[in-house]
Amino acid sequence: MKAVKYIIALVVIVVVAYNSIYFKKLDEVKAAATAKEFNAAQYAQDFWNNELIPNLNKAVDLSQLSSMLSADANRAFDNYSHALGIGNLRYFLVSGKGIVAVVNDDDMVVTLRDDTTTFVRTIATEFIFGNAVRDATGLININEFKNTMDFNNVSAELNRIIREKVLPQFKPVIKKGDAITFTGAIEMNKAHPDLSHIEIVPIDVKIVPR
């Protein structure tokens, strides 16, 4: 009788254990884990090709922006800048045409001219960092991301594209006196707007005939 009870108990334990444990193929587990991982490099490349580059024609002319900031800074920020939150940091997508005045190891100084004024601006050519390129278009929504690390990694990957693909196209050959067109991103503090101290992060730079 006891033997029968033990056998019944053993059968129950085996059935419960069988229904509590399941197996998956190792490649299925790996595939599921990979699917859950955010690929910042792929996201950045897709954004660069399909969103950023096709929208470069929406950049505000830097000479015009300078004039607008002098005339009505709040309107200029409202119409042309983008930001993630309610802080003072704002980002602009800008473009322009100018003459290279100085080529430094880390940047180049470009002379631009509007209808009445000649002024200089700096384009970064070495240290590319920050969130300007990611945020200047306003096309990326932070709510798309599960966490801020993924969101920040997009900035890092966009900056890497600039270092590895954009800068090598012009940096080795650019020289003083060259005429260039450029499109890039800038960061500015709305509370203290000052274009003379901004640095343009280049997205596209071309040498053109003078």
Helix-strand-coil percent breakdown of the chain, rounded to 5?
Answer: 50, 25, 25
Q: How far apart are CA 52 and CA 131, in angstroms?
A: 14
Number of domains in the chain: 1
Token digits of residue 125: 């050519």
> Is-contact 155 170, C-beta < 8 A?
no
Q: Which domain holds residue 166?
A: 2-208
Token digits of residue 118: 């000649």
Number of Cβ within a 10 Å radius of residue 151: 21
pTM of the predicted protein model: 0.81
User: 135 burial class (0-12, 13-18, 19+ CB within 10 angstroms)?
Assistant: buried
CATH number reported for the structural domain that contains residue 88 in this entry:
2.40.50.420
Using one digit for the tens of pLDDT, what is the confidence trace for 43-88?
999 999 999 999 999 999 999 998 899 899 999 999 999 998 777 8
Using one digit for the tens of pLDDT, what is the confidence trace for 108-167?
999 998 766 788 999 999 999 999 999 999 999 999 999 999 999 999 999 999 999 999
